[in-house]
A and B are shown apart, each in its own frame.
Chain A
């Protein structure tokens, strides 16, 4: 939508845009260009000279079994986090939307975890799941489960998935609840008059009307679990044991920051950028559908 009345001149808007444009060009466009350039160059071991390498870095990446394994691991991790965080959020939101006493308090109790940093969530669960001192770990041992996520690959994955999903439920809850509240009251009433109750009402009426919101949230959750859970994983397992919880993001960090292999990490960065671009395009697609409702 364009507005009819504007202010004349171009000097004022140019001045207004200077800070944003400076930040964008210097700290966004330039780094992106640097990464794209580095991803097609090969540096000698001393970093003294560079030669054009074409797509060699990418070929190397996609023939590296470690990288391919990380892709598979990331898919499993993201799928599990997204499913868990969304499922719980829908369950809680459907009941929080009901007309019950204490609704406001419940909502506050379910919204605040939005403020917990992914890294802090990792720390909390690292403490609770700690094989020696963790309260939850102790409980699991009582139940006869040999709990040590620092040694057991599967347990490690469960721990990072659980902690990552735990942190994300409230974000999803906020959106699903808003989505439920935007469903016109009359449609719910009509469904009640038609005799649809409980699960049936949810499956045939609420879920279809929530679909655009859920599609949008799936993309957001995939982006979250792929990138923002770095802190959670770092606090819990640092990608271990071995590489059992090493997602693509953790791998970029290990290769680029810890091992200083900038060529390989630049190619990895470019792959991640392409991935996010794709996901974001998908997200805008859903947003437009949601907006058009």
Chain B
């Protein structure tokens, strides 16, 4: 076979391969986008049409008015706006709290030697193992002892205690060259200055990636908010939307669907906006 033949055959394979690849990837894309799209279309129809099972593939444009209506704090209606705000505040507090707490503890473990250092490290390691779901009942009992049931702190604090972020930071800190620390010490920087002037600026990308992961983690919590907050005013959007589809008598399906869309929007936007950092941070944090 001549070189030209070979090249032609390779190109032929490549084109055929590309068609298959496009087909598979388009199907995958549809698998994820189509369900969301159908729900979005449903949200713009009126309840009667939905109840008859009359759902097409195109949204009813005037039906879009449901979104501003749901988002305006109207008395009597479902407090979607408040649930969104609470979810946002909770996700933000969890992400910021975890980053702050882990940054400090990782700094202590990586840049100091002190008695009990390995003990602390292993303690953190064990924390990593048990997701909040597994220890939900005992955690509730303890939080109840602290009188934090039905409080924002009770919602956030137990989700802030985890070691994933600490380990990620520690890993990043280990890679900081010794000479850089030495240069800073020769320049007269103490531990706090080094943290503020060198380490935090150097950890910006890690923090951004971690923020996305933790924001999504916080926003998507369901079981803990369900258990710890019995007061409907402390319903997060995730708890609220599941509650909305609960009773079968409910007929305002378009509202339910619109709320479902709204519940997914913020974390999705955060992920898409910081896609590259997030993917890098995620795959590296598990290493």
Contacts and interface: CB of A to CB of B under 8 A. Distances in A.
A96 to B, nearest CB: 6
B161 A27 contact: yes
Given A21-B120, A287-B287, A113 B24 contact: no
Secondary structure class of chain B's binding surface, majority of residues? helix
Given A127-B42, A256-B137, A280-B128, A216 B286 contact: yes
Contacts of A110: 25, 28-29, 32
A125 B35 CA distance: 8
Contact of A117 (B141, B142, B264): B264
Contact of A32 (B29, B135, B174): B135
Contacts of B283: 174-175, 178
Interface of B: 13, 17-18, 20-22, 24-25, 28-29, 31-33, 35-36, 38-39, 42, 50-51, 53, 55, 100-102, 104-105, 107-115, 117, 120, 123-124, 127-131, 133-143, 146, 157-158, 160-161, 163, 166, 174, 176, 178, 181-182, 185, 190-192, 194, 216, 219-223, 227, 238-239, 241-242, 245, 253, 256-257, 260, 263-264, 267-268, 270-272, 275, 279, 282-283, 286-287
A95 B18 CA distance: 9
Contacts of B216: 114-115
B129 to A, nearest CB: 4
B268 A266 contact: no
A23 interface: yes
A241 B283 CA distance: 38
B135 A35 contact: yes
Contacts of B117: 13
Interface residues of A, number: 97
Interface in A95-110: 95-96, 98, 100-102, 106, 108-110
Given A127-B256, A230-B223, A34 B138 contact: yes
A111 B270 CA distance: 12
Nearest to A173: B28
B134 A227 contact: yes
Contacts of B102: 20
A151 interface: no
Contacts of A28: 127, 130, 135, 161
Closest 4 CB pairs of A and B: A231-B222, A117-B220, A23-B161, A10-B114
Nearest to A179: B283
Contact of A119 (B109, B182, B222, B271): B222
B142 A98 contact: no
B39 A127 contact: yes
8 contacts: A102-B22, A106-B29, A116-B264, A117-B220, A135-B42, A235-B245, A266-B138, A269-B138
Interface stretch (A1-9, A61-69, A74-82, A153-161): A1-9
B39 A197 contact: no
Contacts of B271: 111-112, 114-115
A27 B268 contact: no
A281 B190 CA distance: 38
Contact of B253 (A9, A91, A133): A133
A95 B238 contact: no
